C-alpha cells in the first residue's frame, strides 16, 4: 500500500538500526582484508541474533540457506580433490561461512524491523553521505585511500592519465558495482515516499560513473532513469531535461572524463572480457562440468592462457567455471525466485523491477564476486523484499 507522510517518520526499533549499520558497514570496502568491517560486524551481530531464527523464517528461506550450505560443502570437496588447491580454496570456505551469517542476519532482521525497506534505504543514505564527499576529494586530488588495483589505463592502445575514485574498495570496479546496486533503491525510494532528495545522490553517482569510465553503469543508470520517469508519470520532464543537456554538455571538458573516450574507442563492447567468457566456458568443459574450484580461475588462466588476466569479470561465468553445473543451476533458481512475479507489485515495490534492469549490468562490471560480501547482501535484500510483504500502512 502507498506510503504516506504520516508513517514516513515511523519509529525505528533497534533491529532497524542494526540493519542500517550492516548496510552502511560496506563503506570501508576492502579495508581490513580478511577482517573487513562488514564481516566482523556480521559475525558479532549473528552471535546476538542466531537464537531469533524461527522455524517459520527457516522454512520461508530454506532453499536459499541450503544453497549456501551446498556452496560451502562443494568448496570443501575441491579442498580435497581440486587440481588447483591452495590457501585461496580454504579462504573461500571461510568466506562462504561468513556470507551465510550475513544472509541469516538479513533474514532475521527482516522479521524484526518495523520497516525493512526503509531501513535498507537509510543505510544506503548514510553510505552515500560519507562516500560521495570522499569520492569527490579523491577525484580532485588524485590521492587514494588504500593501494588500488587499476586496470584499463589504456584505451585503444593509448595510455591515459587515469583519474578515478575507488574509495576503500581497492578497485574502482568494485566501487562502481556497489553504487550500481544502490541506484534501484534510490529510484524506488523517491517513487514510494515522494521525496526527491535522493536526486542529489543519483546525480553524484552518475558523475562518479563517468569519471570511473563504467559504460555499463552509465547505460544502466539511463535506462533506470527512463523507467523512473515513466512510473512517476514525469515523462514530460524529458522535454525539459534534453534541451538542458543539449546546451550544457558542450560546456563540459569531455576529454577529462574517460567514459566518453571509452565509448568513442570501444563502443559498448569489450573484447577481452568477451574472451574471458569463452575461457570460463572452456574451464567448465575441461573440468567435466564440475568446475575447477573456488578461486582457481587465475591459476587456470596462468596455465592455459597466460596472455589474459586471471579474473572472470562475469558473475555467471565465475560460478559456472569454478563451481560447475549443479551450483550454477541452483544459483539460476535463486535468481528466478528473487525476480519472479516482479510485475505483480511493480507499483508499490518497484525496487525489484529497477534491480532486474540493473542486474545484467551489475554482474559484468567487477572482476570477481563470489568471495565478497556485496553481491550476497544485494541478492539477499532483494529476495527478502520479493518474498515478504512489506508492512505499509494505508492512507
Using one digit for the tens of pLDDT, what is the confidence trace for 139-190?
998 888 865 555 544 444 444 556 889 999 988 999 999 999 999 999 999 9
Q: Residue written as cell 587440481?
A: 83
Q: What is the pLDDT of residue 161?
A: 52
User: How many secondary structure helices (H) and strands (E) does the chain include?
Assistant: 17, 2
Residue 154 β-bridge partners = 159
- Alpha-carbon torsion (215, 236, 245, 198), positive or negative: negative
The answer to whether 122 and 20 have CB atoms below 8 angstroms apart is yes
Look at residue 85 in the predicted model and tell me its pLDDT: 66
pLDDT of residue 176: 96
Instruction: Give the helix/strand (H/E) hosting 159.
Output: strand 158-159
What does DSSP assign to residue 287? T
CB-CB contact of 213 with 152 (8 Å): yes
Q: Which three cell numbers stand for residue 190?
A: 523517491
CB atoms near residue 271 (< 10 Å)? 8
Cβ contact 392:193 at 8 Å: no
Evaluate the CA torsion angle 73, 74, 79, 81 in order and state its sign: positive
Which residues in the chain show pLDDT less than 70?
1-10, 85-87, 146-162, 234-270, 343-348, 389-395
pTM: 0.88
pLDDT for the residue numbered 325 = 96
* In contact, 104 and 50? CB cutoff 8 Å: yes
- Determine the pLDDT at residue 83: 74
The residue whose grid cell reads 568443459 is: 285
Looking at residue 77, its pLDDT comes to 87
For residue 238, the number of C-alpha atoms closer than 13 Å in the C-beta half-sphere is 12
Question: What value, to the nearest 5°, has the Cα angle with vertex 251 and ends 247 and 252?
Answer: 120
Provide CB contacts within 8 A for 361, sequence distance 6+.
180, 216, 217, 219, 220
Amino acid at each position: 500500500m502507498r506510503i504516506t507522510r504520516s508513517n514516513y517518520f515511523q519509529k525505528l526499533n533497534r533491529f532497524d538500526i542494526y540493519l542500517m549499520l550492516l548496510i552502511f558497514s560496506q563503506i570501508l570496502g576492502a579495508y581490513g582484508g580478511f577482517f573487513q568491517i562488514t564481516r566482523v560486524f556480521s559475525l558479532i551481530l549473528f552471535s546476538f541474533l542466531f537464537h531469533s531464527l524461527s522455524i517459520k523464517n527457516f522454512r520461508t528461506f530454506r532453499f536459499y540457506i541450503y544453497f549456501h550450505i551446498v556452496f560451502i560443502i562443494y568448496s570443501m570437496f575441491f579442498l580435497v580433490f581440486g587440481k588447483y588447491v591452495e590457501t585461496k580454496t580454504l579462504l573461500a570456505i571461510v568466506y562462504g561461512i561468513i556470507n551465510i551469517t550475513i544472509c541469516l542476519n538479513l533474514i532475521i532482521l527482516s522479521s524484526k524491523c518495523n520497516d525493512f525497506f526503509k531501513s535498507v534505504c537509510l543505510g544506503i543514505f548514510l553510505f552515500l553521505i560519507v562516500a560521495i564527499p570522499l569520492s569527490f576529494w579523491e577525484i580532485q586530488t588524485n590521492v587514494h585511500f588504500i593501494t588500488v588495483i587499476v586496470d584499463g589505463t589504456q584505451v585503444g592502445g593509448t595510455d591515459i592519465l587515469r583519474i578515478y575514485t575507488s574509495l576503500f574498495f581497492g578497485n574502482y570496479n568494485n566501487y562502481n558495482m556497489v553504487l550500481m546496486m544502490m541506484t534501484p533503491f534510490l529510484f524506488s525510494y523517491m517513487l514510494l515516499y515522494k521525496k526527491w532528495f535522493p536526486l542529489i545522490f543519483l546525480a553524484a553517482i552518475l558523475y562518479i560513473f563517468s569519471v570511473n569510465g563504467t559504460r555499463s553503469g552509465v547505460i544502466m543508470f539511463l535506462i533506470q532513469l527512463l523507467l523512473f520517469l515513466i512510473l512517476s508519470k514525469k515523462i514530460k520532464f524529458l522535454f525539459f531535461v534534453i534541451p538542458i543537456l543539449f546546451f550544457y554538455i558542450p560546456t563540459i571538458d569531455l576529454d577529462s572524463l574517460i567514459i566518453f573516450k571509452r565509448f568513442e574507442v570501444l563502443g559498448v563492447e569489450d573484447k577481452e572480457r568477451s574472451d574471458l567468457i569463452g575461457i570460463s566456458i572452456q574451464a567448465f568443459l575441461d573440468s567435466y562440468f564440475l568446475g575447477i574450484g573456488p578461486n582457481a580461475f587465475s591459476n587456470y588462466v596462468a596455465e592455459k592462457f597466460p596472455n589474459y588476466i586471471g579474473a572472470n569479470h562475469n558473475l555467471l561465468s565465475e560460478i559456472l567455471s569454478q563451481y560447475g553445473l549443479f551450483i550454477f543451476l541452483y544459483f539460476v533458481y535463486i535468481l528466478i525466485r528473487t525476480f519472479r512475479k516482479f510485475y505483480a507489485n511493480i507499483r508499490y515495490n518497484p525496487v525489484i523491477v529497477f534491480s532486474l534492469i540493473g542486474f545484467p549490468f551489475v554482474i559484468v562490471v567487477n572482476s570477481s564476486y563470489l568471495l565478497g560480501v556485496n553481491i550476497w547482501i544485494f541478492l539477499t535484500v532483494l529476495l527478502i523484499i520479493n518474498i515478504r510483504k512489506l508492512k505499509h500502512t494505508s492512507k
